[in-house]
Structure formats: structure tokens, C-alpha cells
Amino acid sequence: MPNQRLLNRIAIVTGSSQGIGREICNQFFEEGAQLVCADLRPTGQGEEVPTHDWIVQKGGKAIFVKTDVSNADDWKALIANTVEEYGRLDILVNNAGICTEANNPQPIDEVDEAAFDAHLKINTRGVFLGCKYAVQQMKKQEPHACGLRGWIVNFASMVANIGMPAGYTASKGAVAAMTKTIALDVAKQGIVANSICPGFTQTAMLDNALGGALSSARDAVLAALPRGRFGEARDHARAAVYLASDDAAWVTGVNLNVDGGLTAQ
């Protein structure tokens, strides 16, 4: 087992049923955390065993709470269920998100307004609500030995640093900027907030973007990556472990690029 850097910490992970969110749950379990898996469905694309059951089968402790991250009442219920089950909330990972534009990007004058609004509703409002209600709970809690009451890890994107499809870029750029504001708002209360900016990662979202008619684009994207490979869910999950651990107690308001050097070019 790893170093158990999150031993007995209570963590909510949204978008937990597949991809990066599922792997975050796995890595958090490996590090000793107890989990609340939050998603619209317990099982994601290509997965037969729900994430919480998978963790329990491996000897961990996890529950599933159905959650629409854009709905404030769902967030209130999620926090309440977490505290009822475990007694507190130590870590929030705002991972849930959508990207419906990747395989059909449009210039700004042709962007579908409903799609634009959907990205803001889920990707940005979802993070805002999660942080709002998690902070309300974390402020009530006694701090850990390291002096912190809570850790927030938001998922932005490399598109917060470069221009790509409008709705997704706007929503993730807002997450990156909002994370800095949240970090300053809660610093004196013993809560840290940081974001991760993933690059091209081998997930269902990437397959949807580069699959089918656009399969020829895969080689071109790969050639642009300094490390010469796509990211993996584990790359981001391990970054989340760091930002949710005592090792990052003096790190707040950071947007951590986990993109194989893409945005360093």
C-alpha cells in the first residue's frame, strides 16, 4: 500500500463513476481515505461495477449519493449524507463536468447558446455550489493536526490557459479563476483550495473528441505533446492526492497544469 497520506480522511468525489473521477476514488482509497462517490449514475461508460462497490470489494469504505452538481438541493443532501455517514467532510474533489463541443468545435459566431449555457451550468455552477456548501461544513469542524479543516480540489482544464471551444473554455477558465478567489476567502479558516488543469487524457471524453471521423487527428494531437503520450487518469488522480494531503498544507490558490508540458510550449 502507498504511504496512506489520506488515512481516515473523508472525501467527496464528484463525477466518480468513470474516467478520472473513478481513478481518484481508487487512489484516495489506496491512500486510506473513506469515500463518498457522487454522480448521476453509480456506473459509468464501460464500467460494470459501480465505483463505490468496487472500493468496498477491495476492503475500503465508500457510499454512493446520486447528485446533480448543478442543483443546490442535491449538494445540500450530499453534504448532509456525508456528515451523517462519517461525521465530517475533509476533502472535496469537484471533478464532474461535460464537454459536448470537442468533436464539433464552432467559431464564436456559430456557438449554440444552449450548449454554452449547459457547460456553465454543470462545469462552473457545479463547482461553485460544491465549494459553497463544503466550506459551510468545513468551517464547523475542528482542524486536523496540520492546522487544516479542509481541502478543495477543483478540476479546471488546460483550456483555461489556451483558446479552444467557447463553452468549455469559458466554463473551465471560470473554475481556474474562481479557485483563486475561494482560496483567499477561506485561507484564514484553515481551508485550502487548488485546481488541476488536465491536458489531453485517455478517457471517454478524448475518445469522443478524436474518435470516428476525427480519428486522423489523434496522431496530430499526440505529436504536439512534449512527453509523447496522452495523459492517463492516474496522472490526475495522483496530483489530486498531493493537493488533498498534508504535503500541500502551504499550497493554495494554485492552478496545477497536469498536461505533459503542453501549455509550457
Q: What is the DSSP letter of 143?
A: P
Q: Considering the chain, what is the average pLDDT of its residues?
A: 92
CA distance 153 to 195: 5
Per-domain boundaries in the chain: 10-264
Q: Which residue in 260, 259, 227, 231 sits closest to 157, CA to CA?
A: 259
Tell whether the torsion through CA atoms of 105, 111, 112 and 116 is positive or negative: positive
CATH fold group of domain 10-264: Rossmann fold (3.40.50)
Mean pLDDT of all residues in 122-136: 98
pLDDT at position 265 over 90: no
Give the CA dihedral 63, 67, 69, 71, nearest 10 degrees: -140
Mean pLDDT of all residues in 165-193: 95
Mean pLDDT of all residues in 152-160: 94
Q: Which residue in 258, 261, 260, 212 sits closest to 236, CA to CA?
A: 258
Q: Is the pTM of this model over 0.85?
A: yes
pLDDT at position 135 over 70: yes
The residues that are catalytic are: 168
CA distance 203 to 209: 10
Band of residue 217 on the pLDDT scale cut at 50, 70, 90:
low
Strand arrangement, sheet containing 150-155: 62-66, 34-39, 10-14, 91-94, 150-155, 191-198, 255-258
Q: How many CB atoms lie within 10 A of CB 233?
A: 20
Mean pLDDT of all residues in 69-84: 98
Mean pLDDT of all residues in 74-79: 98
pLDDT at position 203 over 70: no
CA distance 244 to 232: 19
